[in-house]
Amino acid sequence: MNSTPSSRGRLASRRSRALAIASLVGASAIVVAIALSRPRAVDPAAAAAPRVPPVRQLELVHAEPFRTERPFRHVWRQEQPLVDRGWLLVLAGDPAQMVPRQTKEPVLFVGAQTADRVNTGQDSGRIVAIVPGEFRLEDAPIFYGQANLPEELQQRHIDAELAAARAAGAQAPTAEAIAKATAGVGQGRTFATDYQLRRRAIDLVEQYSPGEKDLIAGWRVPLVK
């Protein structure tokens, strides 16, 4: 049956509307695709802010000041300064982080100084450390820094590590923790040489990390003059 002029007009009108709708949908899809493909705006301040890794701190367990009549070399930093006073500390932390390595490992810092580790603490989670220098414990965060060789570090490296640790939230021991750690210690002890100082450090290893029997036994052998 032949269509009338009016029916042909209605059909053309419906086709025009369909084409208009299809064009509108297609344009909308293109706009959405372009918007999704564009990179999202980034806050310039957030982009410029450096990523601060979490700091790994250790707990202060015991602390006693020391002096030596004869200065000795602090070899756990590049300058190897002569020292004759400091702190003998017992620190608690994660034993898994204390496993010794044959390569660079996180350096232990006490404030703006590298710590001389007397033992490993990998089983007990207790490290005995000699930290030379005249400083207050309440000003000295105790933390692991970046993996490095302590004997390669200069003061500028140590200061940078301390600044980074503070930025990451590192805090010095509280007054309560210091009072507990130094209870009964008084003014500390004076040793003739660092050898006697280390003998005292081994006493603390035996007390807080008794499983390190080989280290303890080695220091119990009488010194041959």
pLDDT computed for residue 51 by the predictor:
52
The Cα-based distances of 38 to 43, 68, 138, 223 in angstroms read: 16, 67, 51, 74
CA nearest neighbour of 57 among 136, 115, 130: 115
Q: Which residue type, as a one-letter code, is found at position 48?
A: A
| Rounded distance between C-alpha atoms, residue 200 and residue 198, angstroms | 5
Segment among 96-110, 113-127, 143-157, 205-219 with least mean pLDDT: 96-110
Categorize the per-residue pLDDT at 102 as very low, low, confident or very high, splitting at 50, 70 and 90: confident
At residue 200, does pLDDT exceed 80? yes
The pTM score is 0.76
